[in-house]
Structure 1
Amino acid sequence: MTSENAKTLDVIGVGLGPFNLSLAALLHPLTDIEAMFFESRDQFDWHPGLMMEDCTLQVPMMADLTTMADPTSEFTYLNYLHRTGRLYNFYFYEEFLIPRSDYNRYCQWSAEQMHSLRFSHTVTAIKANGEGYQVVVRDNTSQLETIYQARHVVLGTGSVPAIPEGIQHLKGNANCIHSAAYLQRRAELQASNSITVIGAGQSAAEIVLDLLDEQPQHGYEINWLTRGDGFLPMEYSKLGLEHFSPDYIDYFHQLPEATRDSIRKGQDLWYKGISDFTIGEIYNRIYRRSIGNKPVPITLQARSELLNAMAEGDGLRLAFEHRDQQQAFEVTTDKLVLATGHRHPIPDCLSSMLDYFEKDSQQRLVINRDYTVASKVPLAGNLYVQNGELHSHGIGAPDLGLGAYRSAAIANQLIGRDHYVIRNKNVFQNFGVAEKWQGSSSRDESKAPELLSA
């Protein structure tokens, strides 16, 4: 193990998804900060298992790495188009929601311009010391480990596939895959006789649509089940979208933990639903193939919870319960696709420091409003979190549209000045009691029922 003693870096970023890449882009033009970002993968590659050709982002193209913090940045999506000779093509394309594959290529292009990024390097340990943090990094090619010193650390390690509790034992079973690996396993799926998809979010719907497109050629049966209330559209009204704003983060963060958890339970369709377009395309495919009352080999069923599964022959037998009818039933299938979302674990590299940090009643890290992890003991530097604060900052945490804002807020703290403008009023509505009504009540709380009845 070697030690990088030349200088103490101002910040080290752990992981290079869109959010830490955004921070790297915002720090890139600043000459008074030394930053380095490490990523274990060989290159930037955003959800490669779901990069179907026709899929788009669910947010406008302004939700790029920098536009919402600095539209003049060299790392905007429009500048990428300009620099790669595609600006007029995009102008005539006249679409606000860009192809997911193009967003991925844009991020790769951006990464190629930055000098602070180190791919094929894995952070194996982080330890606090009197100067900030000691960060151990393994070069995946040489396997050599180097120790770096940094004043601050920003975690952007992202998420991992979530597997339902009742079928954890199917990990590693060749007939059970997570949606994150869909494209890599698509040919294998299409060679089977029956495919069952679990989940009712955008990823599940995109997979079902893709399977529908190839179904006539391959002849497999599709089952699509979810424990949710239905195959429902994402909330996409303009006032609903205002909940993906810095203003809502301010409101949400100051609420008690129990209140925040209760609120989020009712907000799933604001970030987990299906786009209207995708729902329409699925319905239209089924309708057209059913003309003349022809049977279409697809079964859709909601309110159906997957409880258990077991290998049977060359396939799987799945045990469900219908949540309304309280009726148990079984589904036999060759292949199972779990579009069951992702979770955000605390990365292993922090294992030696876990006792330093505050945790809430659910054993989640307590994240301050400024994206620093709350510590039990004084630390010389800050540990920041990118996209691990859904429980504390609300539904906008994983949203690309808030990525540049969060990165700008962190960047300003790292350099000790407000280089990037953070605006306090970005929405038209009030999430709490409006300022003009603050302190307007003079009533005795004990008489509330009387006042309400009056």
Structure 2
Amino acid sequence: MNNKIHDFIAVGIGPFNLSLAALTDRIDDLDALFFDETHRMQWHPGMLIEGTDLQVPFMADLVTFADPTSPYSFLNYLHKQGRMYPFFFFQKLEVPRPEYNDYLQWVADQLKALHFGCRVIDVVDVEYEGERCYKVVVLDKEKDETHFYYAKHVVLGTGSKPLVFENVKDLPNEDVVHTSRYLYEKDHLLKSNHITVIGSGQSAAEIVTDLLHEQQEHDFYITWFTRSAGIFQLDTAKLPQEFFSPDYVNYFQSLSYEQRMNTLPKLHTLQNGVDPSTLSEIYDLLYQRTVGGKGKRVTIQPITEVKEIQRNSNHEYSLTCHQWQKDETFTYDTEKVVLATGYKPNIPDWFMDRFEHEVIWESEKHFKVSKDCQIAFKDERKNEIFTTTNISHAHGTGANNLGLSVNRNVKMINYMSGRPIYEEGHDTIFQQFRMTDEG
């Protein structure tokens, strides 16, 4: 704890705020602190399945799009680990997920501004030493002590939390498992006779793939339900990828709220599809299993929404399912369930308690966010609350894109510094989305 007013305090240390920390580490006149309640940097540890890769190239690391010379780049990580040649011979642009997590931990271990095991429990708009600022109340979980810090700005990077059916919260965690805990509960799942996966995205497909590999040894049945019209591949073509660019974010920001919300579903395959290589692997495994008339021991059914999960008299689980195209409802029994049902924004209680009635809301769920990631307040203020949480309605399908996170951080850094420390991305693509004076 100290009495100085920091330039900003960041709440949460995921890849987005870790990027912000790495980019500000070498800026002498920008003073910041970062707090996270977990005890170490961990990126989706429950889904670090061996053989899985990021869905973006290695250049989408924490710093490269802003500063390719940074010591915190992925290439420098490889150099320091003695892995430059192995990665070169790996011949892939995508980084294995376990290695990406190791890279994040390598960067985090070098940054002194990061404080783990510290939970931000309140942020108050105050006047301190004659200056308007935010008082940030932090609980040191290890020492069970509360400390106060002051900052001109706050950066909200609390990420997301698992989205699950309301009634499953009372069911055993080892039986009904969200993907965020898959590896923690995997051994228990493999001891069962029937595992049902619910969901249609990349995480669901990766778990089905992993279970197919394990099925040979453990001999369980696999069911895969998804409410989507089909299990479709991610659009990885080059021109569509330009929607993950600063230029498109700027265009998306220019649309009205209604136009933005109508646009998002049309970009679904850019974000929520399954990597083509994963779908190919699943099909190849299924094909090989059926050689010689063998049963595939797998049921895959799209167009089916699971409405409810209940424990039955056999101490297993009954799923109430609705095939929405035929408007047919049926009950399906399984022993274990994996929920690949995604995530929802993790907005801290203190934010709603303190600022719910002071910010501008575009809808019941979405506060207004500028292109520089500032939350819009009803009053004019110099002390901003920036956010990388709950911004898909404002920044489009690239809200969770690792490469674009660097550009968002660049905008925040330049704003808080009052000068252009890093160049902001523009004219980065070949498409345009409206006719300009030049076009």
Query: Paired residue for 1:448?
Result: none
Counterparts of 1:279 and 1:72, CA distance in 2: 37
Query: Paired residue for 1:298?
Result: 298
Query: Paired residue for 1:347?
Result: 348
Over residues 155-205 of structure 1, what are the superposed CA-to-partner deviations in whole Å (9 max), with x where a residue is unaligned? 110000112xxx311113112111111000001111111111011100000
1:25-424 alignment to 2 at 5 Å? 25-130=22-127, 131-163=132-164, 167-174=165-172, 175-312=175-312, 313-350=314-351, 351-424=353-426
Counterparts of 2:199 and 2:329, CA distance in 1: 18
Counterparts of 1:106 and 1:365, CA distance in 2: 33
Q: For 2:170, what is the secondary structure of its paired residue? A: coil
Contact 1:200 1:226 in 2 (8 A): yes
Q: Aligned AA for 1:335? A: K
Over residues 68-106 of structure 1, what are the superposed CA-to-partner deviations in whole Å (9 max), with x where a residue is unaligned? 111011110001111122112212222101100111100
Over residues 187-229 of structure 1, what are the superposed CA-to-partner deviations in whole Å (9 max), with x where a residue is unaligned? 1111111111011100000000000000011111100010001
Which has more radius of gyration? 1
Instruction: Report how far residue 436 of structure 1 moved.
Output: 4.1
Q: For 1:292, what is the secondary structure of its paired residue? A: helix
Counterparts of 1:37 and 1:49, CA distance in 2: 24
Counterparts of 1:5 and 1:279, CA distance in 2: 53
Instruction: Report how far residue 132 of structure 1 moved.
Output: 1.6
Contact 1:128 1:379 in 2 (8 A): no
Instruction: Report how far residue 323 of structure 1 moved.
Output: 1.3
Counterparts of 2:436 and 2:323, CA distance in 1: 43
Instruction: Report how far residue 314 of structure 1 moved.
Output: 1.5
Counterparts of 1:110 and 1:361, CA distance in 2: 37
Query: Paired residue for 1:443?
Result: none
Q: Aligned AA for 2:196? A: T
Counterparts of 2:201 and 2:34, CA distance in 1: 32
Counterparts of 2:397 and 2:267, CA distance in 1: 8
Query: Paired residue for 2:15?
Result: 18
Q: Aligned AA for 1:206? A: E
Instruction: Report how far residue 435 of structure 1 moved.
Output: 3.5
Contact 1:49 1:179 in 2 (8 A): yes
Q: Aligned AA for 2:231? A: F
Contact 1:132 1:379 in 2 (8 A): no
Q: After superposing the two structures, state which structure 1 stretch, 372-381 or 151-160, moved more.
A: 372-381
Counterparts of 1:161 and 1:93, CA distance in 2: 33
Gap runs ≥5 in structure 1: 438-454
Q: For 2:56, what is the secondary structure of its paired residue? A: coil
Contact 1:129 1:380 in 2 (8 A): no
Q: After superposing the two structures, state which structure 1 stretch, 357-366 or 113-122, moved more.
A: 357-366
Q: Aligned AA for 1:326? A: D
Contact 2:167 2:308 in 1 (8 A): no
Q: After superposing the two structures, state which structure 1 stretch, 391-400 or 87-96, moved more.
A: 87-96
Q: For 2:355, what is the secondary structure of its paired residue? A: helix
Instruction: Report how far residue 37 of structure 1 moved.
Output: 0.1
Instruction: Report how far residue 232 of structure 1 moved.
Output: 0.6
- TM-score of the superposed pair, with normalisation by structure 2: 0.96
Over residues 37-94 of structure 1, what are the superposed CA-to-partner deviations in whole Å (9 max), with x where a residue is unaligned? 0011011000001000100000000000000111011110001111122112212222
Query: Paired residue for 1:442?
Result: none
Counterparts of 1:184 and 1:223, CA distance in 2: 20
Counterparts of 2:375 and 2:159, CA distance in 1: 16
Q: For 1:59, what is the secondary structure of its paired residue? A: strand
Contact 1:127 1:353 in 2 (8 A): no
